[in-house]
Structure formats: structure tokens, C-alpha cells
């Protein structure tokens, strides 16, 4: 018997058996195939380890294959996911870091993926399709707490500024002034009561006067109506008088056109008569005898031609 050949056969058969067992243990012909996806986180990934589960709406669909810092920006972390082929990773799929219960073990939760959204593909220059990320709950709480603490700190500083020594002294002086005013008002309580009572009586008298003014206003209104009526009547009378004046004016014009020439001739003759009477009166006053015996001829003056006395 060739013992070396038998030993070699046993070794080869054992290796084949071990390889077959390992292959069956890993799934064999039913082994799942995975696609690689990249996610870029802008927050700390503390608690996330290699082979951490990747879940899609709570269903495990892959594992974290690699975790490393972004060489171009150390504030970002590149996560490489191995996700089962056929998982509907869409362009609107989002990756979020979450923790499991109280253990604090982190995993990646995928969500989104509308039915009509196109599948996620790798862009030119990137070896893997890049899944969008969203801040985790712990990161959002940290941001909220940071903002709240910053606002509380600012509020505390403002309160300290308000409660400074100068402001406290001013508040103390203001309270003292208010107390003094209150004491003064309390001391003059009787005077204030009397003033309030007088004001009440004044308001009451004013209300009575207002009630009495009402009828007066009504009478004034009636008088205004009567005056308006009288004005309307006067306006009508004025219109009638205007018509009368117009008719009289026409008559006067006609009378003037017909009578004035006769009056002018009459006045001219009366003027001539008056002048004659005036001359007669003057002559009678100078020579009253002339009115009874007639006028004598006026003697001629020296040198005037005439008959004169005859010479002897």
C-alpha cells in the first residue's frame, strides 16, 4: 500500500470538506449579493462600528463596510454601506444615525424612497452612489440645547445688566418717590373725595343743561325753517317786483320819449317869460312913473346926431 498517496488523498478530501462546510455556512448558492453605497456624515459617528446594521424602515438590508474621515474635509465622515442588491434605494432616500435602546449601539436607518422616484445612480467622478444624510436626533437635540443655553446665557447677562448697582439705586429711588406720592394722596383723601363729588355734581348739572338745551335747539330749528320759508317768499316777491319794475321801466321810457320834448319847449318859454318879467320888474323899480305914463325917450348925449334946439 502506498501510504503517502493515501495521506495526500485524506488531506485533499479534508480540505474539500472544510471548504464545502464554509461555503454552505456562508450561504452557498443562496449567498446574497450586495451593492456598495456611500454616505457623508457632517456629525460625529461615535458608537457606530464596522458591520453595524443598515436598516430600511426597520428592516435589516445591509451592513457598514467602511468608516473613515473625508481626506478633503476632516469634519465629515465617509460611510460605505454594503446593501443587499434589489433594495429600492432611490434618489430621495435619506440615511440617519440612530441608537438601539439603552445600549447606545448605533446603526444606520434609511428612509424615504417615493414610488415614482428614480433609482439612485453614481454620478460622474464618484465610484459609488451617494446617499443623502440628515442630522440625527441626538445632533438636533444638541443643537437645540446649545441654542437654548446660549439664549439663557444672554438672558442672564441682560438680567445682570438690569440689576446693576446703578439700576438698583434708581429702582430704590423710584420706589421711594412712589411711596411719597402714595402718602401724599392718602393725606389729601378728603380733598380728593370732595373734588370727585363736585365733579359728579358738575356732570349732573351738565346733563340737565343738555336736556334743557334740546327743546331750545328744536325751537331754533323751527325758527330756521320759518326764516327759510320767509326767505323763499321774499325771493318770490322780489321776482314779482322785478317783473313790475321791468314793466314800469318800459312805461317810463315811453313817457320820457313822448313828453320830454314838450317839457323842454315849455321850460324854454317859461325861461324867456321869467327873463322878461325880471327886466320889467327892474325897470319899474327904477322908474315907477314909466309904468303909469309910459317911457320917455332917452336924451341924446353930447355929440350924438339929432334934431336938437334950433339956433336963433
pLDDT tens digits, 242-273: 565 466 556 656 656 666 677 677 777 777 77
Q: How far is residue 164 from each of residues 159, 160, 169, measured CA to CA in Å? A: 9, 6, 9
**Structure confidence at residue 308 as a pLDDT band (50, 70, 90):** very low
Average pLDDT for residues 192-206, to the nearest whole number?
A: 82
Compute the distance between CA of residue 224 and CA of residue 109 in angstroms, rounded to an integer. 91
Contact 121, 89 (CB under 8 A): no
Contact predicate 96/109, CB 8 Å: yes
Q: What's the pLDDT tens digit per position in 47-102?
A: 888 989 999 988 999 999 999 998 888 889 999 999 998 888 999 999 999 887 66
What is the C-alpha to C-alpha distance for residues 35 and 152, in angstroms, rounded to an integer? 48
Listed in sequence order, the residues at least 6 apart from 79 whose beta carbon sits closer than 8 Å to its beta carbon are 38, 39, 40, 41, 45, 48, 64, 66, 67, 95, 108
Residues 88-112 pLDDT 10s: 899 999 999 988 766 667 889 998 8
User: Which of 127-136, 192-201, 252-261 is predicted least confidently?
Assistant: 252-261
Q: Residue 137: how many CA atoms within 13 Å on its side-chain side?
A: 8
Amino acid at each position: 500500500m502506498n501510504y503517502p498517496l493515501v495521506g495526500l488523498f485524506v488531506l485533499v478530501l479534508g480540505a474539500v470538506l472544510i471548504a464545502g462546510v464554509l461555503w454552505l455556512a456562508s450561504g452557498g448558492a443562496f449567498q446574497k449579493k450586495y451593492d456598495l453605497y456611500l454616505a457623508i456624515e457632517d456629525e460625529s459617528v461615535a458608537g457606530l462600528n464596522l458591520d453595524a446594521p443598515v436598516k430600511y424602515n426597520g428592516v435589516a438590508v445591509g451592513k457598514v463596510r467602511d468608516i473613515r474621515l473625508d481626506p478633503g474635509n476632516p469634519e465629515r465622515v465617509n460611510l460605505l454601506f454594503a446593501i443587499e442588491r434589489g433594495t429600492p434605494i432611490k434618489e430621495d432616500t435619506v440615511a440617519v444615525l440612530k441608537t438601539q435602546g439603552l445600549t447606545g449601539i448605533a446603526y444606520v436607518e434609511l428612509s424615504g424612497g417615493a414610488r415614482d422616484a428614480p433609482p439612485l445612480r453614481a454620478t460622474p467622478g464618484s465610484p459609488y452612489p451617494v446617499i443623502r444624510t440628515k442630522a440625527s436626533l441626538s445632533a438636533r437635540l444638541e443643537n437645540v440645547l446649545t441654542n437654548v443655553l446660549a439664549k439663557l446665557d444672554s438672558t442672564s447677562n441682560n438680567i445682570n445688566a438690569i440689576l446693576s448697582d446703578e439700576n438698583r439705586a434708581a429702582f430704590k429711588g423710584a420706589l421711594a418717590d412712589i411711596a411719597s406720592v402714595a402718602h401724599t394722596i392718602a393725606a389729601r383723601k378728603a380733598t380728593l373725595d370732595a373734588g370727585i363729588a363736585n365733579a359728579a355734581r358738575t356732570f349732573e348739572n351738565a346733563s340737565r343743561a343738555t336736556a334743557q338745551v334740546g327743546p331750545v335747539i328744536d325751537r331754533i330749528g323751527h325758527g330756521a325753517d320759518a326764516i327759510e320759508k320767509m326767505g323763499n317768499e321774499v325771493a318770490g316777491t322780489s321776482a314779482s317786483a322785478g317783473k313790475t319794475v321791468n314793466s314800469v321801466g318800459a312805461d317810463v321810457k315811453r313817457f320820457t320819449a313822448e313828453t320830454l320834448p314838450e317839457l323842454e319847449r315849455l321850460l324854454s318859454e317859461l325861461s324867456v317869460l321869467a327873463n322878461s318879467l325880471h327886466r320889467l320888474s327892474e325897470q319899474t323899480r327904477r322908474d315907477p312913473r314909466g309904468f303909469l305914463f309910459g317911457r320917455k325917450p332917452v336924451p341924446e348925449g353930447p355929440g350924438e346926431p339929432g334934431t336938437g334946439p334950433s339956433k336963433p
